[in-house]
Structure 1
């Protein structure tokens, strides 16, 4: 008998301890993941999926990104629904995407959410995408690897319905940390959820929970919840698959009005509290560990030449320094557009700034920062790097002319004093 036959005849069907090479040995699982752009940083990738279309995946993707962004995290949306892109319009974004030799720049919403969609690349917004599956799948991969995502805490991926090429590409090519399944109240919801659950499990992707859209209509007079599409089956379906229900979204004119007005960032509703909590927990321990390990973000208004800009409220840019145990780990530019101290304070809160080092600053702006838990160190001048280093060394002295009581206007500066709020 041949050596091969003897080896196979004595095989105990356990490849884990066998050193022989034969056709029955299971091959190592191939890694199909695409590399992230080297200039990007994405911490968590969340897929929004469903077994069928028309259940509101794009709305949930958009609104969850808004809600998590309000919690102070940096969010982004990768619109993988290539043939039915609708997300840019909900945010009022109509310009075309730009780029350079490093990659493609995503569009940025009013509140700082980064968005990439095929609609930002088409000649016109109503140009149909008549592409075959491999081209569509390739586009999704490019959105991951060719786009400059910068620093993203949560990326939400809006996937097309079903279990076809694009969902498979996303699961295989992106490091998906979890999916949220979107359903509606109809009887067939169990079958819809089953398709999404089975695909996620087959791809070894965690399922965070279920969100039911079109859950009910609330009477404007008495507050009664009317089940327009019949009795909800989401609880029994969730129990069947041992999944939490992360929210029930009602049928309400407020949602349609916000989307139609291209102002989803202005929408306010209490329907997704559980979903937000579940998502925050994914980064909660990581963020707390970072804070416990001496992580600090310092912002300095600068003039384009790395010098401290004299007006806090009028600065068009801020240089952001990130330190870990007093070691510089990042330095970037924040665009504040000189929109005034109110908008700038909101940006400081959104960016989770710990310290602001500045030149002149009005009392109202200083109080706004301090009330937000941000330490203010006014009176700085000259090179921003030097000022930050002096602060860390404990040698940055505050100027007696750091603040002023003026209410704006066109009066001139006097030896670095501030003439704005």
Structure 2
């Protein structure tokens, strides 16, 4: 042993947090193990939904809690970490594959704006089994955190696989969990299983926010008597043992399973988890929901940093994110869509509120209006100046297309259509706009 190493060990206080030495005894801090958040994401609260065993309805609880928090006005999302048994997309009726661009992987978005990422959204066939070893599965979970463009999210729920194996350990170590909720059922055996889950969370310094008991009872339609199908509940005893509150006792209700199986989680109605949702909002207050004065502006951009003059052929958008008139971020977005519908879907997924462009046809204008995206057409020159003009109020949104040429595109080949117009000095005039980029 060298004298230097001997001196380091002999003077070691065992407190690595206050020591600058880089010795073999140093233990990584909790922060050292965290996976980096995607740079285009701002997730405020992360909640793990845990179960000690499978078959207790954990994914159902995850889905409905996400829906309830969304109804309360929060921006919510689900990271499906149950890689080998993903069921979140089915609960929300999502079958479309996830897309990606240079910013990262884009989550699927439900009709009410809930973001979802699951391995099923990446498979060619959603019924294909995921036969992966533990380290690969764990790495996938970290990639869902680091590579997915979540954007602004108030509450992100992580649907974990059952048990206390590799993936729950990875989530506990790699994601900045604000707490977990443990889902259980009434069987007596569950007391031991729940204890394991709580003790694991305690060992990882993760707060257990509460218990939710599923399949707690069956209510008679006639007399309203509550029948304990799986035996008497022990959740209150476990609650007292660990000092963790019971957030809900959910019944056996065929309508819940029917609605989830039909992919209509957002249509489910019931007050079973209302207390749980309100408790989460109280325990984990979000300082401010997505600010009303926060907006994203997409500007069609050419190679000279000017406003590109043909929305339908735009290959690059510059995304300005502002709070009030203060710039928060600016990013380049490659248009990976093919056609107006795909382009508008991409802008919607990025959370764009305003589009600044040159010429735009009525078809594209209508699609943007359907998504409540404001359009400032007819702009020219430097994109920074164009954005400033909009913010100053000099440029106003419009609902009228300014390039009728776009409407003919569906009826003619684009080059054939040019033969019906006059060309002068390489400039093409169509439908009242002068857009040299149209051809």
State TM-score, norm by structure 1: 0.69
Aligned to 1:230: 231
Aligned to 1:29: 29
- Partner of 1:284, secondary structure, is coil
**Is it true that 1:58 corresponds to 2:59 in the alignment?**
yes
Aligned to 1:73: 74
Contact 1:296/1:322 (<8 A) preserved: no
- Partner of 1:161, secondary structure, is coil
**Alpha-carbon distance, 1:243 to partner:** 0.6
**Alpha-carbon distance, 1:389 to partner:** 3.0
**Alpha-carbon distance, 1:296 to partner:** 2.5
When residues 79 and 298 of structure 1 are mapped into structure 2, their CA distance, relative to the original with a 3 A threshold, is closer
When residues 133 and 149 of structure 1 are mapped into structure 2, their CA distance, relative to the original with a 3 A threshold, is same
Aligned to 2:391: 389
d(CA) in 2 for partners of 1:163 and 1:91? 27
Contact 2:68/2:274 (<8 A) preserved: no
Contact 1:297/1:321 (<8 A) preserved: no
Unmatched tracts of structure 2, length 5 or more: 302-306, 310-317, 334-339, 342-347, 354-373, 380-385, 398-439
When residues 303 and 188 of structure 1 are mapped into structure 2, their CA distance, relative to the original with a 3 A threshold, is same
Aligned to 2:185: 184
d(CA) in 2 for partners of 1:125 and 1:144? 21
- Partner of 1:148, secondary structure, is coil
**Alpha-carbon distance, 1:123 to partner:** 2.1
d(CA) in 2 for partners of 1:19 and 1:95? 50
The alignment yields a C-alpha RMSD, in angstroms, of 4.5
Count of aligned pairs between the two proteins: 349
d(CA) in 2 for partners of 1:285 and 1:166? 27
When residues 17 and 104 of structure 1 are mapped into structure 2, their CA distance, relative to the original with a 3 A threshold, is closer
Q: Which runs of structure 2 are paired with 1:234-383 in the superposition (5 Å)?
A: 234-281=235-282, 284=285, 286-287=287-288, 296-297=293-294, 324=323, 326-329=325-328
What do the CA deviations read for 1:124-161 (whole angstroms, capped 9, x no partner)?
12111111111111111111111111221111111111
**Is it true that 1:157 corresponds to 2:158 in the alignment?**
yes
d(CA) in 2 for partners of 1:280 and 1:173? 24
When residues 116 and 28 of structure 1 are mapped into structure 2, their CA distance, relative to the original with a 3 A threshold, is closer
- Partner of 1:287, secondary structure, is coil
Contact 1:49/1:182 (<8 A) preserved: yes
**Alpha-carbon distance, 1:297 to partner:** 4.0
- Partner of 2:96, secondary structure, is coil
When residues 17 and 38 of structure 1 are mapped into structure 2, their CA distance, relative to the original with a 3 A threshold, is closer
Q: Which moved more, 1:33-42 or 1:275-284?
A: 275-284
d(CA) in 2 for partners of 1:6 and 1:79? 48
**Alpha-carbon distance, 1:89 to partner:** 0.9
When residues 253 and 330 of structure 1 are mapped into structure 2, their CA distance, relative to the original with a 3 A threshold, is farther
Q: Which moved more, 1:7-16 or 1:187-196?
A: 7-16
Contact 2:77/2:116 (<8 A) preserved: yes
d(CA) in 1 for partners of 2:97 and 2:62? 21
Aligned to 2:47: 46
d(CA) in 2 for partners of 1:98 and 1:19? 45
**Alpha-carbon distance, 1:94 to partner:** 1.0
What do the CA deviations read for 1:260-305 (whole angstroms, capped 9, x no partner)?
21111100110112211122235535118x97xxx72469999998
d(CA) in 1 for partners of 2:18 and 2:110? 56
d(CA) in 1 for partners of 2:330 and 2:6? 64
Unmatched tracts of structure 1, length 5 or more: 308-318, 339-346, 354-377, 399-421
Aligned to 2:430: none
Q: Which moved more, 1:34-43 or 1:296-305?
A: 296-305
Contact 1:184/1:212 (<8 A) preserved: yes
Aligned to 2:204: 203
d(CA) in 2 for partners of 1:60 and 1:206? 19
State TM-score, norm by structure 2: 0.67
d(CA) in 2 for partners of 1:268 and 1:257? 12
**Alpha-carbon distance, 1:217 to partner:** 0.9
d(CA) in 2 for partners of 1:301 and 1:135? 37
**Alpha-carbon distance, 1:80 to partner:** 0.8
**Alpha-carbon distance, 1:38 to partner:** 1.4
Contact 1:183/1:211 (<8 A) preserved: yes
